[in-house]
Copies of this chain bind each other. A is one copy, B any other.
Amino acid sequence: MSGLEELIDRYCQGWTDPSPLERRMLIQSTLDQHAVYCDARTGPVGMDALIQHINRLQQQRPGARVLRTSAVDLHHSVGRFSFHVLMADETVLLEGVDFFELSGDGTRLQRVVGFFGPLRTRDG
């Protein structure tokens, strides 16, 4: 596994780990201090508000896990990967794609934009 995939998997573990303290450490170690996150339901939020958001989700759905389901596709410090959100009983709550930007030194995420569900077919 590449360093980039390890970074992404540690970030996903920051949504997943059962320990709030572990989740905070994982998010803090994978996001740039000025990182911004948003998805269709949340944000844009900085790191602290993202950690609080994840804490709320974990309280609502204890044991939910975010699992990367594709290789990580990167060019020009921007990338994408797909993921599943799995419930504690392993059912898939949702699938999505995260687009991200790396920090200047390439070691952290400075922006993550999540999209949920498959792309809808075009209407016309």
A58 to chain B, nearest CB (A): 23
B-chain residues with CB within 8 Å of residue A71 when the two chains form the complex: 119-123
* Count, chain A residues at interface, CB 8 A: 28
A–B Cβ pairs within 8 angstroms, 29 of them:
A1-B123, A1-B124, A5-B122, A38-B75, A38-B76, A38-B78, A39-B75, A40-B75, A43-B76, A68-B122, A70-B119, A70-B120, A70-B121, A70-B122, A71-B121, A71-B122, A71-B123, A73-B115, A73-B119, A73-B120, A76-B113, A78-B113, A80-B97, A80-B99, A80-B115, A80-B119, A81-B119, A97-B119, A99-B99
Interface residues of A (CB under 8 A from B): 1, 5, 38-40, 43-44, 68-71, 73, 75-76, 78, 80-82, 97, 99, 113, 115, 119-124
Chain B hits for A99, CB < 8 A: 78, 80, 99, 113
Please give, as numbers and ranges, the residues of chain B lying within 8 Å of A124 by CB-CB distance. Answer: 1
When distances are taken between beta carbons in the complex, the residues of chain B under 8 Å from A69 are 122
Q: Which residue of B lies closest to A78 (CB)?
A: B113
Separation in Å of the A11 CB from the closest CB of chain B? 15
